[in-house]
Structure 1
Amino acid sequence: MSEKDDQRDHELHGYERMLERLRERLEETGEAVEHGFSEALDAVRERSVALGELTREEADRVAAWLQRDLEDAAEYVEKARGTYSDWLHMDLQLVENWVWDRFSSVADQTRLQWQALNRELQAAARYHTGEITGPGTLVCRDCGEVLHFKRAGHIPPCPRCHGSRFERAVRQRRD
């Protein structure tokens, strides 16, 4: 395994550990969501650095990816009146139960923060090759190729056009 592959796996494990710690902290603290999420994310990022699991740079990068994914899920649920399963755009049986429990718990907290702050997010080109994303479906912004993630993973270059910019694919709700 190459050094680059080791680094990618290292950050992927960091993403999963930070997501788990974030879920636990939000459940334990009961803090007001609009303040609790940012403070909780800062705390789990610092914990990863303090434990030597991630360097400062890695922890900052992983925390940004985690926040991006959670805000994206919260934005979809808020604006489209969808569900997290719609956002994932796949059968929930494919998602390992432990990932789903942790991700949905933190994403729900993020959705509440989203409502409290009423933030408008920029949707254009938010996902890039080399970053880590949570489970779901991404679409290449250059050619429309669809990439499916059953669990957290690194975003590869587009297999069709080798593009590096993606956006989250969401299923339209049928009422």
Structure 2
Amino acid sequence: MSDQDRNPKDDRLVRAYERMLEDAHEAIEQAQNETAPRLREVLDKTRDNLVELGELSREEAQRVADYIRRDIEDAAGFVAETGQDIRDWWRFDLELMERRLFEAFSQVADQTRLQLAQIAETARRMSLYQAGEITGPGTLVCDKCGAETHFVKAGRIPPCAECGATSFRRNPVGREDQQG
């Protein structure tokens, strides 16, 4: 996506995604023994703060919080299912990512892994990513043609560059054999 194609609203939502994720990370560090309900509380509080500050509408803030929940649940489900490292979920060299984002995501995923194991089934059923939504770093695979779209940081999901389809699934290392 070129600079001229970027929508200021998109950049604002991406910044909100990163801010919510950072706030979630900080809260997790302070309360490492807390459970998944604490994560929901943190995201809800951050969402409400962004709305109160006028940075996002209630609907936008809720969508960003839902995107973070989806990504965390998917990452935790992957780690619980495969026993592989969170780095495999991202599926590319960590040198490409900002270190703080990796640490934030790892902390959140590690701290919530056990609690989210119960949610893993729901996450699998709801693991479709749609064009226009925001996602964190990783690789998405087009449901229609199988083309990969790589994200080195949080960003808005574009339609498939190969076929124009709008539905994707995350396909990290270790899940290739589960396609079908």
TM-score normalised per structure 2: 0.87
Pairing 1:131-150 to 2, within 5 Å after superposition: 131-150=133-152
Pairing 1:105-116 to 2, within 5 Å after superposition: 105-115=107-117
In the alignment, what sits opposite 1:33?
35
Give the CA RMSD over aligned residues. Answer: 2.0
For 2:27, the aligned partner's letter is: R
2:115 partner SS: helix
Q: Render the CA deviation track for 1:68-116: whole Å, top value 9, x for unaligned.
A: 011000000000111100100001111111211112112222323213x
Pairing 1:149-160 to 2, within 5 Å after superposition: 149-160=151-162
Q: Render the CA deviation track for 1:11-40: whole Å, top value 9, x for unaligned.
A: 001000110111111222345313211212
For 2:146, the aligned partner's letter is: G
In the alignment, what sits opposite 1:60?
62
- Looking at structure 2, the residues matched to 99 and 49 of structure 1 have their Cα atoms a distance apart, in angstroms, of 23
2:158 partner SS: coil
TM-score normalised per structure 1: 0.90
Of residues 144, 167, 170, the one that matches 2:169 is 167
- Looking at structure 2, the residues matched to 75 and 137 of structure 1 have their Cα atoms a distance apart, in angstroms, of 16
Of residues 64, 81, 84, the one that matches 1:79 is 81
Rate the CA distance shift 1:141–1:125 in 2: closer, same or farther, 3 A.
Answer: farther
- Looking at structure 2, the residues matched to 108 and 139 of structure 1 have their Cα atoms a distance apart, in angstroms, of 25
In the alignment, what sits opposite 1:22?
24
Matched positions, count: 172
2:121 partner SS: coil
Structure 1 consecutive aligned stretches of length 4 or more whose deviation exceeds 6 Å: 1-4
The 8 Å contact of residues 14 and 62 in structure 1, kept in 2 or not, is answered as yes
For structure 2, the residue ranges without an aligned partner over 5 or more in a row are 176-180
Rate the CA distance shift 1:2–1:60 in 2: closer, same or farther, 3 A.
Answer: farther
The 8 Å contact of residues 132 and 153 in structure 1, kept in 2 or not, is answered as yes
- Looking at structure 2, the residues matched to 145 and 32 of structure 1 have their Cα atoms a distance apart, in angstroms, of 39
2:140 partner SS: strand
Aligned-residue offset at 1:48 = 1.4
The 8 Å contact of residues 76 and 120 in structure 2, kept in 1 or not, is answered as no
- Looking at structure 1, the residues matched to 52 and 85 of structure 2 have their Cα atoms a distance apart, in angstroms, of 35
For 1:120, the aligned partner's letter is: E
Rate the CA distance shift 1:168–1:43 in 2: closer, same or farther, 3 A.
Answer: same
In the alignment, what sits opposite 1:120?
121
Identity over aligned pairs, percent: 44
After alignment, is 151-160 or 118-127 more displaced? 118-127
Aligned-residue offset at 1:119 = 4.5
In the alignment, what sits opposite 1:103?
105
